Amino acid sequence: MKISINEASKKLLQGEVVAVPTETVYGLAARFEHLDGIYKIFQLKKRPQDNPLIVHVGNKGQVGELVESCPPGYEDLIAAFWPGPLTLIFPIAKAIVPDVARAGLPSVAIRMPSHPQMLALLAASGPLVAPSANLSGRPSATCAAHVEEDFGHEFPVVDGGICRMGLESTILHWEENGGWRIARHGAVSAESLSQIISLSPVMIEKEKPLCPGQKHRHYSPKCTLIAGFEEYAGDEACVVGYSDRKYHGASQILALGASSRPDEIASKLYATLRLLDARKVKCAWVDCRLPPFDAYQAIADRLKRACQN
Ligand code: TXA
Ligand code: MG
């Protein structure tokens, strides 16, 4: 059910949950200090309790109200990337953001989104916790119809159109001894971050993930996805691929865009994964052959995780 920013703000102030647009993906929002709303988010998404939420702020000054101190390089990072798709994890000593929203961690993740409707809502409601607006483990939502697919037509959503980027924010983690590390690849590339701060090497897969969410199943449609093309033999298979590549023998090809256009691929990614289920496709091959740099890194990360279903 589409609602206005005014209606959304009223609901949020009463402790309710509403879906909101951001430039990355839609979020399921509640006021950061409303425990009822926070519990409701976990319940609605069927989200594991050990997976913390990102706090969204409407201006840079609000960070000082949520954390005691900022890591080195913080000023340069937010000058370069906020408002925008970069989330920073701040170590904290006091529980200003409730424990349950942080999954009990001694840190809090914060970002300032750039979507104009989200900024208007944040100005009216104050900081909001918001995970992506999808059932846990499922592909994220990049338009209001996706939110309704997962939570029903009666669920309140501020319709901000199709998300411009279509990929979640990049999450940066800072450690006294380790420096800055990417905890989740996303809409800001490692290359553009490296122009502002020095990045420590990306974590080894087997290490404990810096984001608890990374250990859970993610982005997966019901359709069984197979990554890699070593064994692909055509055979009337469904393929998720690129408009400039050939897939001999495929029964249907869902093109994410041209392989040279990562922005296009990112913006179509989740809609395409959802389309597989809408078309009741049982099994599909996913062409994960992408270069290991720039925006491709986050896309390859999502595709590979979606295939682990
Ligand atoms: O673009 C985005 O980031 C979207 C939009 C709605 O802002 N949000 C989003 O939220 O992707 P979610 O909940 O789907 O993913 C947040 C990730 C999870 O993997 C979670 O574990 C991690 O952020 N996270 C949150 N707080 C953290 C913390 N204190 N320490 C480490 N990881 C944290
Ligand atoms: Mg998510």
Q: pTM (2 decimals)?
A: 0.96
- Say what the pLDDT of residue 309 is: 65
What six digits make up the tokens of 295? 């925006």
CB 59 within 8 A of CB 126: no
How confident is the model over 28-50, as pLDDT tens digits? 999 999 999 999 999 999 999 99
pLDDT, tens only, 259-306: 999 999 999 999 999 999 999 999 999 999 999 999 999 999 999 999
pLDDT surpassing 90 at residue 187:
yes
The C-alpha angle with vertex 51 and arms to 47 and 55, in degrees rounded to 5, equals 105
* 224 phi, psi to nearest 5 deg: -75, 125
What are the beta bridge partners of residue 171? 87, 184
The ligand 1 atom at the shortest distance from the C-alpha of residue 111 is: 7
Measured from the CB, is residue 83 less than 6 Å from ligand 1?
no
For residue 202, what pLDDT is reported?
66
Whether the predicted pLDDT of 205 surpasses 60: no
Whole-number pLDDT of residue 210: 86
> Measured from the CB, is residue 27 less than 6 Å from ligand 1?
yes
The reported pLDDT for the residue numbered 268 is: 98
Q: What is the pLDDT of residue 176?
A: 86
Q: List pLDDT tens digits, range 217-234.
A: 789 999 999 997 777 777
Distance 248 CA to ligand 1 centre (A): 39
**Mean pLDDT in residue range 126-146:** 97
Specify the 3-state DSSP secondary structure of 171: strand
Most ligand 1 atoms within 8 A of CB, residue of 23, 169, 211 to mutate = 211
Atom of ligand 1 at shortest range from CA of 108: 29
Ligand 2 centroid from CA 307, angstroms: 16
Any ligand 1 atom below 6 A from CB of 160: no
Q: Where are the alpha helices (DSSP H) in 91-231?
A: 99-102, 116-125, 144-151, 190-194
Where does the pLDDT of residue 203 fall: very low under 50, low under 70, confident under 90, or very high at 90 and above?
low
Q: Is 117 in the pocket of ligand 1 (CB under 6 A)?
A: no
Which helix (H) or strand (E) segment holds residue 182: the answer is strand 179-184
> Residue 182 pLDDT > 60, yes or no?
yes
Terminal Cα distance for the chain, rounded: 31
